[in-house]
Amino acid sequence: MLLDAGSTVAALAHELREDISLTISTTFLAVLEEFAEPDDVHVECLGGTLRHPSQGFVGPLTEAARERLTFDKVFLGADEVTPGTICEADLQQTRLKK
């Protein structure tokens, strides 16, 4: 499961803490904090460059890590979603979500 950055994703991560059968990949510091304690949850950080306003990782290293993984579920945060478009405040965030 991929958990992106954003306040809604952080709330979801908090609710998922009780599910001990998870493998989580994330670009978001808040998700890493939520799963820092539970030993039964496997967490992969898609590191890269920290974007301070969103507390998420972006950039070529993050994109390269994401391209090497597959996910059965993805939860994205976004500033705006329209049919066929995900809008973000930053081009690097948009590229990552695409």
Q: How does pLDDT run along the chain (98 residues), one tens digit per residue?
A: 999 998 999 999 999 987 778 899 999 999 999 998 878 888 999 989 999 988 999 999 999 998 899 999 999 887 777 887 777 777 677 667 66
The pLDDT of residue 85 is 76
What is the pTM for the complete model shown? 0.82
Sign of CA dihedral 17, 22, 23, 25: negative
The rounded distance, in Å, linking the Cα atoms of 31 and 19 is 14
Q: Residue 26's closest CA among 8, 6, 2, 49?
A: 2
Can you tell me the distance from the alpha carbon of 69 to that of 64, in angstroms, rounded to the nearest whole number?
9
Contact 62, 49 (CB under 8 A): yes
